[in-house]
Structure 1
Amino acid sequence: MSASWLERLTGPRAPAGYRPGATLARLRHNLGLADWQSAASFTYREQGPCIEVRERTESHLLMHLVMCELTLRVPALGQGKLEFDVHHSGLVRRTGLVFRLRDGEKPVFEDVQLRLSSDSALRKALMPLDFKRLTCCFDNGQWQVCLEHMGASEVVNRMPAFRRYIPLLAQQRELIWQSFDALERILREQ
């Protein structure tokens, strides 16, 4: 049975001109990794953590964005539930990091925030990193860190017609790896 016209009009669908996997292929080239295990996971160093990657689309009027979201999973000691975002502070220049609680207990969040904000290696990696979104979720003894970088994304416009890939530069790639290493070290003990 076919879907009704209302379901076709309002249901989830891919934006016009979206090429599934094309942005991931360009990201794979930018990363220069030999051990790309599948279309969705890789490790960036020997004995390193497995990083999952997926494409995410965002539709706008007559255009859409295709962004790559990198996900790190870290087992931890504690129990409970916590979710927070990390952003840069400062309107023109980056002056620091801001942590915003989305869900969970405030005392636990404050403890994690203190540990993350006081770590010099993490701060050194995150301050110059051009990320759009960094979300940390803790649930049932496991952390999930999702990072969406400004690079490794594609802008597709329908009028005027153009398609532009924004590459992930080598310096930014190294900052991502340093951030993931620091986050894994800190969150594993939490």
Structure 2
Amino acid sequence: MLTMVIATLRQKLFELFRADRAPAGYRPGITLAHVRRNLGAANADLERLAVEVIERTESQLLMHLVMTEFVLRVPAATGGTASFEVHHGGAIRRNGIRVRRRSGNQALGRELQARLLADSALFQALMPLDFKRLRIELHNQQWCVRLEHMGGSEVVNRMPAFRRYIALSPVQRDHLLASLMGLQRLLSTL
């Protein structure tokens, strides 16, 4: 009897904390609708670049976040597999762009870093861009850029109950579009 109670309790706990379960109060597509409204005319430019805009949720104790990821795929001139994270340098003030190799060819990471710094238009777009994550991956002769902006996200709290959308400002929208176009240009030759 005790074994059955423990097994049932364990199953209930597993179902409660399952990672693939949508958080309570999550409204699929609502954040994307806000982002598309913020993008305005830039939606056409993103479609021309073949950028996919997706929602991603992150659950926390009594709240969840809905983040927006901009996914760009570019045919690669090189083969292999690699993964890189791009972030701003500097602890308090941004003083550059850094590329951190997660896996793959270290020389390719150095080449990516050098080209990011050499492309002044891309560098000027990335420096003021408020991104949370920027991952660049190479797989099956294709680059995949995943850029998660700090704007275009929603915070949903259960206790106290509130929901807040963090808008993507027009200035950030312009930097985002310039960054994605610059990354497409840079990666198509790498």
Is 1:64 equivalent to 2:71 in the alignment? no
Is 1:15 equivalent to 2:16 in the alignment? no
Matched residue, 1:145: 145
Structure-2 change in CA distance of 1:18 and 1:177 (3 Å): same
Q: Distance in 2 between matches of 1:70 and 1:164?
A: 20
Matched residue, 2:6: none
Q: Distance in 1 between matches of 2:50 and 2:117?
A: 24
Larger Rg: 2
Matched residue, 1:84: 84
Matched residue, 1:29: 37
The alpha-carbon deviation at position 66 of structure 1 amounts to 0.3
Q: Distance in 2 between matches of 1:30 and 1:13?
A: 28
DSSP 3-state at the match of 1:151:
coil
Task: Tell me, yes or no, if the aligned pair for 1:43 and 1:50 is still in contact at 8 Å.
Answer: no
How many pairs are equivalent?
A: 179
**Higher strand proportion (structure 1 or 2):** 1
Task: Tell me, yes or no, if the aligned pair for 1:154 and 1:165 is still in contact at 8 Å.
Answer: yes
Q: Distance in 2 between matches of 1:68 and 1:114?
A: 28
TM-score, length-normalised on structure 1?
0.89
Counterpart residue type for residue 8 of structure 1: E
Q: Distance in 1 between matches of 2:55 and 2:156?
A: 14
Is 1:135 equivalent to 2:135 in the alignment? yes
**Higher helix proportion (structure 1 or 2):** 2
Runs of 4+ in 1 over 4 A off after TM superposition: none
Counterpart residue type for residue 74 of structure 2: V
The alpha-carbon deviation at position 106 of structure 1 amounts to 0.8
Unaligned runs of 5+ in 1: 35-41
Matched residue, 1:5: 12
Task: Tell me, yes or no, if the aligned pair for 1:82 and 1:103 is still in contact at 8 Å.
Answer: yes
Task: Tell me, yes or no, if the aligned pair for 1:43 and 1:51 is still in contact at 8 Å.
Answer: no
Unaligned runs of 5+ in 2: 1-10
Q: Distance in 1 between matches of 2:15 and 2:46?
A: 44
Q: Distance in 2 between matches of 1:71 and 1:45?
A: 10
Aligned CA-pair RMSD:
1.6
Q: Distance in 2 between matches of 1:99 and 1:120?
A: 16
Identical amino acids, percent of aligned pairs: 55
DSSP 3-state at the match of 2:23:
coil
Cα deviation 1:30-87 (Å, max 9, x = unaligned): 11149xxxxxxx64168x3111011101111211100000001111211111110011
Matched residue, 1:44: 45
Q: Distance in 1 between matches of 2:137 and 2:122?
A: 17
TM-score, length-normalised on structure 2?
0.89
Q: Distance in 2 between matches of 1:60 and 1:8?
A: 16
Q: Distance in 2 between matches of 1:166 and 1:71?
A: 20
Structure-2 change in CA distance of 1:67 and 1:185 (3 Å): same
Task: Tell me, yes or no, if the aligned pair for 1:83 and 1:136 is still in contact at 8 Å.
Answer: yes
Q: Distance in 1 between matches of 2:16 and 2:65?
A: 20
